Structure 1
């Protein structure tokens, strides 16, 4: 059994300003750095075998801050990238009032089906690459929700959102 510590990246400059980041690199702000350091401190005595992050900078930085207390490097994967929000990327979230109605979305947004397929591929990749290991993986709010949706076999709307630097533990 692979044990997954699924973590959301720390707060970013864009999170604080309520900007839709999507697949932009993002940059942790001071709060986000502190959040990552708190996760590192909380998990410093856990025997974690591997550290994995989305290949977007905000997740890599969060994961590096956590992994350094374990003296380990971080492996990256595009499978854990945040949802591609297409032309919504960079927009002020409160201005996107039509977010609640996907029928009004532009065609360049990654579909829920594609997102969940990627989440399933991530879980398969983890099971194959890290059998019987403890893995900490840093992703993003929506992809982490999709990972849990696939894992639990529940609709995304039934998965509780993760705050910045939240941790969920899954047994694969």
Structure 2
């Protein structure tokens, strides 16, 4: 079995460079097009189940994928984005100098640094990895729709690096990674696949 780990389409706050976390903002027209292109790329991947974060931007992407692939859809709270606490909804430019230092440390991948009323990266990573390891479709592959920060951290961890090295594993909106489920656990086959976002499909 393989897991296709998908990041949702672009949102208004992605464009504005605002920290989203557990908050939401509308998906842009570009975000809708990104997931449409993704759907075409996933069409021949033998996916039989979609499992998604229940946050709005993920629900939107999962709905598109479900309609295109004609697969059942389930929601899993463990796949939500990392909780960024008091920084959610803010841009770095809006923070005080002290807040900016804290936010940069948090966003740079320091795994044990958690924002006030938020979640440390190592905890978010453990949460998502546990949910991925518990997936079973019986037959066929699974598409999981989640969020950028936690996807990058999971890929970094599974690739043998510490979670704080996650920045090297860029995962843009509408991109996906491929995980193989073996007897020894999850392994990364591909990460950050995004070629479908840059080539026009002809009918």
Normalising by the smaller structure, the TM-score range is 0.7 to 0.9
Q: Which runs of 5+ in 1 are unaligned?
A: none
Deviation by residue 1:126-158 (Cα, 9 ceiling, x = unmatched): 1xx325531111110111123223423321315
| 54-63 or 103-112, larger mean C-alpha shift | 103-112
| 29-38 or 144-153, larger mean C-alpha shift | 144-153
Distance of 1:23 and 1:49 partners within structure 2: 28
| Higher Rg | 2
- TM-score (normalised: structure 1): 0.88
Distance of 1:31 and 1:50 partners within structure 2: 25
Aligned residues: 169
Distance of 2:36 and 2:91 partners within structure 1: 28
| 131-140 or 45-54, larger mean C-alpha shift | 131-140
Deviation of the 1:41 alpha carbon: 1.3
Q: Which runs of 5+ in 2 are unaligned?
A: 182-203
1:139 alignment partner, one of 137, 146, 164 = 146
Equivalent runs, 1:12-161 vs 2, <5 Å: 12-96=11-95, 97-98=100-101, 99-102=103-106, 106-126=115-135, 129-131=136-138, 133-156=140-163, 157-158=165-166, 159-161=168-170
Distance of 1:145 and 1:166 partners within structure 2: 11
- TM-score (normalised: structure 2): 0.75
Distance of 1:66 and 1:106 partners within structure 2: 33
Higher RCO (CA < 8 A, seq sep 6+): 1
Compute the RMSD of aligned alpha carbons. Answer: 2.0
Distance of 2:6 and 2:115 partners within structure 1: 29
Conservation of the 8 A alpha-carbon contact between 1:64 and 1:73: no
SS of 2:178's equivalent in the other structure is: strand
Instruction: After the TM superposition, list the runs of 4 or more consecutive aligned residues in structure 1 that deviate by more than 2 angstroms.
Output: 93-97, 99-107, 129-133, 149-153
Conservation of the 8 A alpha-carbon contact between 2:48 and 2:140: yes
Higher helix share: 1
